[in-house]
Amino acid sequence: MSKLFKMTDLLQVAPQKELTDLTKTDKHRFMDSILSSSDSSVRGLEVTFNLSSSARRINNRIYTPKGQRDNIRSWTEPYAKPIIRNHDKNEDPIGRFKSVQWHSLEQDAIRHFRHISDYSKFMNDMDSDDPRRIYKALKRHNLLTDTRWRGTGELLATALIVDETAIEKFLDGRYLTFSAGSHTDRYVCGICGSDWAQGDVCEHRPGMITDSGDIGVFVTGAFYGDEASVLTMPANSYSSVRSMQMTDSMEVANVATEDLATDTTTIFISDGLVDLPEFTNGVSQE
C-alpha cells in the first residue's frame, strides 16, 4: 500500500534584528508597552516636573547639554518610558512619559558670572562637549560646589500618572521629587580624562577630593532615558513637581521597533542619593 503524504507550506520567518537583540528584560518592557497601548479614554493626573539638569553636579557626575538635547526622543520613543517608585523595575509603572523638552536656563546662569565675556567663554566650553573642558570650566568658576547653580538647562517632562494610590500621594504632597534613571555611552573622569565606559578605569572615585583639591566628578555622554522614579531624596534638588492637572485622555503613539537594540557597553546610572558603592576590580557593584 502506498503511503499518502500531505504537502504543507514551509515558511521561513526572518525576525527583525532590532527585536532579537533585545535582552529578556527589554522584551518584557516592550510587550508591556504594546499591551498597555489603548485608544480608550484614561483618566489620570498629568504631572510636569524637572527630570534632570545640564552642566550641574548630580551624584558626582555632569550631564552635558548636548548629551541631553540630542537624546530627548529616547524618553518617549520607541515607547513611552515608565514612571516607577524608587527605581524598582520589578513593580508595575504608576504612569508613563508623555513628553520631554529641554529648556535653557540662560537668564539664571548668567548671574553667576561677572562679565558677559566670561559667560560666553564658559558656554563655548559647554558646547564643545569635551569632558575635560567642561570639568575645568565648572571648576574654574566654582560651579562644582555652588548649590545655587541650576545648570545651563533642564529637561522638563510631562507624565500621565494613572495609579490611584500614586495620584492621591501627588495631590496631598507626599510625592514631590523625582530621580532620572538613564544610561550613557561615556563616563569620563574630570580629573584625569579616563573613560570608564571604554574600560579605562582610573584610581579616582566619585566624590573623592585629591590633595590638589580636585573633586572626583565624571562627565557623561549621551543621556538615554530608561525611567523616572518618584524618590524621597533625589540627588538633584531641582527635580521636583512644577505643575499638575487632571486629564481624561492619554495619547499613546504607535510603538515602533527601530533603535530598540541595547548596547551592553553602556553604563546605567540613576539620580537617587545612595551610599558610595563598593568597587571590585574597578567596577561598581551598585
Distance CA 149, CA 217 (A): 16
Type of residue found at 240: S
User: Does residue 207 contact residue 60 with C-beta atoms inside 8 Å?
Assistant: yes
DSSP summary character for residue 4: P
pLDDT in tens, 55-76: 999 999 999 999 999 999 999 9
For 198-217, what is the mean pLDDT?
96
Residue 95 has pLDDT above 50, yes or no: yes
Q: Residue type at 177? A: T
**Cα distance between residue 157 and residue 174, in whole Å:** 19
Give the per-residue pLDDT at 22.
64
267-270 and 218-220 beta bridge pairing: unpaired
Q: What is the pTM of this model?
A: 0.74
**pLDDT value of residue 25:** 72
Cell matching residue 213: 583639591
Q: Enumerate residues 6+ apart whose C-beta is below 8 A from 118.
A: 141
Q: In this predicted model, what pLDDT tens digit does every residue of 17-40 receive, in sequence order?
A: 555 566 667 666 655 654 454 444
CB atoms within 10 A of CB 48: 17
pLDDT(260) > 70:
no
Residue matched to cell numbers 530608561: 226
Which DSSP string corresponds to 116-133?
HHHHHHHHHHHHTT-HHH
Q: What is the mean pLDDT of residues 254-264?
A: 44
Average pLDDT score, the chain: 83
pLDDT at 229 over 80: yes
The SS3 call for residue 161 is strand
**Separation of alpha carbons 137 and 206, rounded Å:** 18
Looking at residue 256, its pLDDT comes to 42
Counting Cβ atoms within 10 Å, is residue 147 exposed (0-12), middle (13-18) or buried (19+)? exposed
* DSSP per residue, 42-109: --EEEEEEEEEEETSEETTEE--HHHHHTTGGGGTSSSPPEEEETT-TTSPPSEEEEEEEEEE-HHHH
> pLDDT category, 247, cuts 50, 70, 90?
confident
Buried b (16+ CB within 10 A) or exposed e, 162-181: bbeebbebbeeeebebbbbb
